A and B are shown apart, each in its own frame.
Chain A
């Protein structure tokens, strides 16, 4: 049995992250200068790009954790690490899809005034959309069989195959469009001229990434608890069986 946790801990991180997010929002809206061509709409860029960077990192690490799971799951003595990497991969995919939804919502809102259309098949957008779909499939499969060993294997397979596909798609669309997509998206360099803009951008990226890490950690905890409950339930039914 674990020792009961102190009552302060569950609220500490949310409060800290909430304050940090408020700080970023204040900084972005009150301190950073107006962008000359796009005006206020430009502010969404900070959160859009920060979420996109976190989202793709989450999917990428999810694929690596899945490789770890597939390699380790049948090795003696590695069972616990394999289980953990599977739980982490699941959490990463969930938060990755959440962030993907944020990116795909803020993107068009920003793109309409900036480029004049809600959507274009720019390499990075397409890359994110397709990876998003793939991981939605991943979560559908996970939801279908929570504790099933086979489902865990299949889900890991999807994550592993997805990442090279994402890179190839990016490459293919660059080839297709001849690489003449708008310069604004590049983020560093051309887009962020003012030092305050760079500071705001760095703050947004950091805070959004921290939030992602915290959320993933929460999801992993939840999965661990569910597994534990499942085990206890199985133990209990074994006991009842024995008593009879």
Chain B
């Protein structure tokens, strides 16, 4: 029952996206623009690019992800669609999981489109042997961000202050993921101490596990009337 509801909600979001393409277009465009702004703000050259490159990538993920989050829940606001979803037999848990999966998919697709451009713009070479580590960091980081963001996004979507409140509460919570992501990206680009990467992977995996357990519980408790 739950699995079917999750699939249906996820399918609905992806189908709407395939027909309108509004979320991915705006996320990708926004991400590229952030990189362009950073390129000018830091007047990037080769040495500086290596220093700030990983940071730029993760700030972009964070901002584009927030944009995607808004869009993901904006759809459910009209005609009290959110209440309808919550009333589905599988309950709030299915809604939460479906939205997390949706956000992970949207951010991942955006990254696949934007990353090659970003690497070219920033000018950091990503060696072939660094790609698996980088991909793992992206996966863990995007999952961690989505777990927290969807919890707060879903909770606060009905308030008038959501655009202000969501970043205020989401960003402090995901700081460990950002630090870990930046460090791992640096390691994938051949920076940092050997063996350090394992610690960061453990930290990010720990974050994901803790919030994988905590967020669904909180979401269920908060959203049930």
Interface residues of A (CB under 8 A from B): 70-71, 74, 126, 130-131, 133-134, 136-138, 140-141, 144-145, 150-151, 153-154, 156-158, 160-162, 164-165, 168-169, 171-173, 175-176
Contact = CB atoms under 8 A, between A and B. Distances in A.
15 contacts: A70-B222, A74-B224, A134-B168, A151-B159, A154-B159, A157-B155, A157-B218, A157-B221, A161-B151, A165-B172, A165-B174, A165-B176, A169-B172, A175-B200, A176-B179
A89 to B, nearest CB: 14
A134 B151 contact: no
Nearest to A138: B169
The bracket for how many chain B residues form the interface is 35 or more
B159 A158 contact: no
B180 interface: yes
A156 B48 CA distance: 43
Nearest to B174: A165
A158 B148 CA distance: 10
Majority SS of interface residues in chain B? Answer: helix
B207 interface: yes
A201 to B, nearest CB: 29
B172 A133 contact: yes
A177 to B, nearest CB: 11
Chain A CB count within 10 A is highest, among B161, B200, B215, for B161
A45 B98 CA distance: 49
A169 B222 contact: no
B210 interface: yes
Contacts of B164: 140
Contacts of A136: 168
Chain B CB count within 10 A is highest, among A140, A162, A176, for A176
Contacts of A151: 159
Closest 6 CB pairs of A and B: A137-B168, A130-B172, A165-B173, A137-B169, A172-B176, A70-B221
Contact of A162 (B155, B173, B207, B221): B173
A74 to B, nearest CB: 7
A154 B168 contact: no
Given A154-B222, A173-B179, A134 B155 contact: no
A168 B174 CA distance: 10
Given A137-B169, A144-B160, A160-B214, A165 B221 contact: no
A164 B203 contact: no
A168 B218 contact: no
A154 B160 contact: no
B175 A172 contact: yes
Given A140-B161, A144-B159, A153 B172 contact: no
Nearest to B180: A172
Contacts of B222: 70, 153-154, 156-157
A141 B200 CA distance: 33
B91 to A, nearest CB: 14
A164 B159 CA distance: 25
Contacts of A165: 148, 172-176
B206 interface: yes
B41 to A, nearest CB: 21
A154 B214 CA distance: 14
A136 B148 CA distance: 18
Contacts of A157: 151-152, 155, 218-219, 221-222
Given A74-B224, A130-B175, A165-B176, A141 B156 contact: yes
